[in-house]
Structure 1
Amino acid sequence: MILITGFEPFGHEKINPSWLAARRAVAILRAEGLAVEAMELPCVFGESAEVLREAITRLDPELVVCAGLAGGRGRVSLERVAINCDDARIPDNKGGRPIDQEVVPGGPAAYFSTLPIKAALRDLDLAGIDGEVSQTAGTYVCNHIFYALMHALADRPGARGGFVHLPYLPEQVPPGSAAPSMTVETAANGIAAVIRASLRTRTDVEMSAGATH
């Protein structure tokens, strides 16, 4: 079983490409014969992690890919590391705004993705989809759920997971703005490519995808 999650809209946005792309990716992968489920997570600290943990317990997935919006980025961002820190620049959808709090009190400082992010990056490139390895998932609800995911999977041998950030949809970019965007279909195919790479790759490939700052 594979679980893909996306978020509900947040801030001033009326749509969230992560959820639209997650649902479309499920259709793509089911057509290939894979058992896949999608779940929309609330953009709320704490509550989102509870919903995700319940889904993991109920579905017992072997692979979990969570997706979120990173407005301003122009590529499918394969997140490398989740940190044990909530530090919200804006309130979540229920007004919560934790500052310098741990996602899991007493938990490890960070977790690395257990997806083969370099192999996935290579496959995105082969598919003609702009991708990148990202060194930070921020400190908002996306990082919160990424950390909560990896903490939950730490007690499930064999289960793997990680997080991807997606750009704005074209319709979210204001007229005259130079902000990059990506269609739902491209983003969904990006998620599907990440999942295919993860299913066939246990040991990641060695290739440069780091950052100088």
Structure 2
Amino acid sequence: MEKQAKCVVVTGFGPFGEHAVNASWVAVQELEKLGLGDRVDLHVYEVPVEYQTVQRLIPDLWIKHRPQFIIHVGVSGMASSITLEKCGHNKGYLRLDNSQFCPDTQCCVEGGPECLQSFIDMDVVCKRASSAGLDVQFTVSTDAGRYLCDFTYYRSLYESHGKSVFIHVPPLGKPYTAAQLGRALQTILQVILDMLEQSEDQINCDHNH
């Protein structure tokens, strides 16, 4: 029996601050060109760097696509490798966004837990992606930065009960090209899909015994 194509949503961010070209959106567009084969129905979105838009858009994406999971990609001026974020944080949002707005409460979801973790084991993803033989470095982090990246990740984790992943990429050329970033995202997605298939097979196997 052929497995049905899985729906996956991938987002990147639009320009902000000194990032006139946002490496995250460039990387996502490269991923879209590369594709993920027949097994994935891939949808990509560019997200404006605005708290209020994120609050509205993330729940909409979950309702519209009902994806297996969503991967959010953001740029970090401090990153020099592909960084897999383990968790999103609810509080501490003080920086103004592109529309000079900041949540009054400095918080993402009123009454939500302080920290939410992804359902995917990022340490395993990092290890498997690193062994794929790409000319890029992968690392793991527990601090997505308390700006729109962290805010988006938390909102998505909250909405999806953990079925979200956040990846930080360095700015273009520091050190990686757009093509390298696209391939890195493709590899991470393939690793995650393989992990999910393995756990599904395990569940089916357990049911059959």
Q: TM-score, normalised by structure 2?
A: 0.84
Q: Which runs of 5+ in 2 are unaligned?
A: 1-6, 200-209
Residue 97, structure 1, aligned to residue 102, structure 2 = yes
The percent identity for this pair of structures is 22
Q: Partners in 1 of 2:65 and 2:168 — Cα distance?
A: 23
Q: Which runs of 5+ in 1 are unaligned?
A: 171-179, 205-213
> Greater Rg, structure 1 or structure 2?
2
1:136-173 residue CA offsets vs partner (Å, 9 max, x unmatched): 0011000000000000102xxxx721100000102xxx
1:42-87 residue CA offsets vs partner (Å, 9 max, x unmatched): 1001212311221111011002100001012101100011111142
Q: How many residues align?
A: 190
Letter in 2 for 1:65: I
Q: Secondary structure at the match of 1:187?
A: helix
Letter in 2 for 1:52: I
Q: TM-score, normalised by structure 1?
A: 0.82
Q: Secondary structure at the match of 2:40?
A: coil
Give the corresponding residue for 2:203.
none
Q: Which has the higher helix share?
A: 2
Give the corresponding residue for 2:163.
160
Q: Secondary structure at the match of 1:22?
A: helix
Give the corresponding residue for 1:190.
184
Aligned ranges for residues 1-213 of structure 1 at < 5 Å? 1-31=7-37, 33-89=39-95, 91-98=96-103, 101-126=106-131, 127-128=133-134, 129-154=136-161, 160-170=163-173, 180-202=174-196
RMSD over aligned CA atoms reads: 2.0
**Contact kept in structure 2, 1:86 and 1:98, CA below 8 Å:** no
